[in-house]
Structures are given as structure tokens and as C-alpha cells.
Amino acid sequence: MNDSSYVGYMSSESSSHSLDRPTRTVTLSVNGETVEAEVEPRLKLSDFLREECGNRGVRVGCEHGVCGACTVLVDGRATKSCLTYAVQVDGASVTTVEGLAGDDGDLHPIQESFHQEHALQCGFCTSGFVMATKELLDREPDPDRETIEEGLADNICRCTGYQNIYDAVERAAAELADADYPRGED
């Protein structure tokens, strides 16, 4: 993440066209880095994160709030970034899947558990599930099956049939309990 300021969606081409689309300035933290940008009010947070901040691990599966592939944490809460406008998160702190692994490149216990339990196939849903799991375990460190099912009910996976995802969440909960991993808002 670089800290230069971003111009919104009209960036690359705007010079060659006489566009006067309205923009607004937003300042937020993305995975711990401060980002200031000029954005169109209609720019979705998902597109802002992907296109402007380079966080392409944010996936877009439906753009209408059903699939959960675009789930990120906004001030610690799992949020569908396709249903959120970038201007709405002015001043907020956003965490994407890119913000999870340690600086040494070690996978976060949730990521590692998804790998160990074969909780991903095509992987398109995975960023969203990992982030939803993060919020769930922050809130509920030792969830039972029902709590897991409830906690992940806003995310769709078309490949795995969920069984291995449940196992991954349980494994992650156990690992986190053992490891005393820092919880909550980073």
C-alpha cells in the first residue's frame, strides 16, 4: 500500500475527456495504512478497494449483497463492500484479506485452517469466508456448529458444500485459543 493520494474512478482517462463528474474526498485506513482519495459518490467500496487501493483479494460475486464474496471488516464488523459506497467509510478502518497474514508472510491461523481442512476449491468465495470467520471468532471465540452456521449464513460457497469450512472454523478457533493470537480490532 502506498500512501499517495488516490484519484477516484475517473483517474486515468479523465484528462482526455471533459468530464465533470462530482467527487468527494475520503480518508480511511486500509489494512493499517492511511489512504486519502478523491472518489465519485457512486463508487462502491468493493471497487474502491480493488481498483484504487490494489486490494484485489476483495472478490465480487454478485454486487447485490447475497454472496458475501466481497466481505471486508469495517471497524471490525463484517461488511459487504459491494453494498457500501466508498464515501460511507470516510474515517473508518478497513481490513481486507490482504491484511491478515503476518508481516513474515505466515498465514493467519484462520487462513492456515482453511488450507489444512481443504475448505476452498475454486477459492472465489474464500476471502469473504475468511473475513466473516475473523469477525465471528473475534465475537465468539469458541462457537458451536450452530453458531458457525449462523455466523457464515451471509456467505455463499458454490464448491465445497460447507462441511470443510465448518471444520476449518473449528480448527481456527482451537488454534487461536492456543496461540493467544491478538484479537479484535488490529
Partner 1 sequence: MSGAEPHSEAAPGEDVEADQESFVGTGLERVEDRRILTGEAEYIHDKAPEDAVHMALARSVHPHATIENVDTSAAEDHPDCLAVVTGEDLQADYNPMPCGLNEFEEWSLAVDKVRYVGEPVVAVVAPDRYAAEDLVDLVSIDYEQHEPVVDALEAREDETVIHEDVGTNVPDGETMEFGEVDEAFDEADNVLEREYSWGRISGVPLETAGVVAEYDTDDDAFDVDCNIQLHTLVDDTVYETLGYPPEKVNLEVPPDVGGSFGTKIAIHRYCVLAAVASQQLDGRPVKFVEDRIENLQGGDMHSSDREYRVRLAYDDDGTIRGVDTWFVDDFGAFPRYPVNQALKPLSVVTNAYDVEHVRYDYELVMTNKTSQTAYRGFGVPAHLHALEMAVDEMAHDLGADPVDVRQANLVQPDQMPHKIPTGNVYDSGDFPEALDRIQNIVEEREVCEGGLLDPEVVEAKREDGKYRGVSYTIHIEPGVSGSDWTDRQRTEDGALEEREREDVEELPEHFRIELQEDGSVQAYLATDTSGQGHQTLVTQLLADQLGVLPSDVEVGYLDSVTAPTEYGTAASRMAVMLSGATEGAAETLRHNCRQLAAEEAFGSALDDIVYRDGGVECQQSGERLELHELAELDSGRGQRLTRVQYDYDHPTTELPEFDEALTQKYPVYPTAAFAANAPIVEVDTKTGEVEILTFYSLRDCGTRLNPTIVDGQAHGGLAQGVGAALMEEFQYDDEGQPQAITMFEYLLPSTKNMPDIELEHSETPSPFTATGAKGTGEGGMIDGPVAIASSINAALREYDFVTNQIPMTPHRIRQRLRETDEGE
The binding site for ligand FES (CB under 6 A) comprises: 60-63, 65-70, 80, 82, 120-125, 157-160
- Which triple of cell numbers denotes residue 138? 473475534
The reply to whether 61 sits near partner 1 by the rule CB under 8 A is: yes
Q: Within 11-30, which residues bind partner 1 (CB under 8 A)?
A: 12-14, 17-19
Per-residue x/- marks for partner 1, 62-91, CB under 8 A? xxx-xx-x----------------------
172 is a site residue for partner 1 (CB under 8 A): no
80, interface contact from partner 1, ligand FES, none, CB < 5-8 Å by kind = ligand FES
43 binds partner 1 (CB under 8 A): yes
Where along the sequence are the contacts to partner 1 (CB under 8 A)? 9-10, 12-14, 17-19, 40, 42-43, 50-51, 55-64, 66-67, 69, 96-98, 100-101, 107, 111, 114-116, 118, 120-127, 130, 148-150, 152-153, 155-166
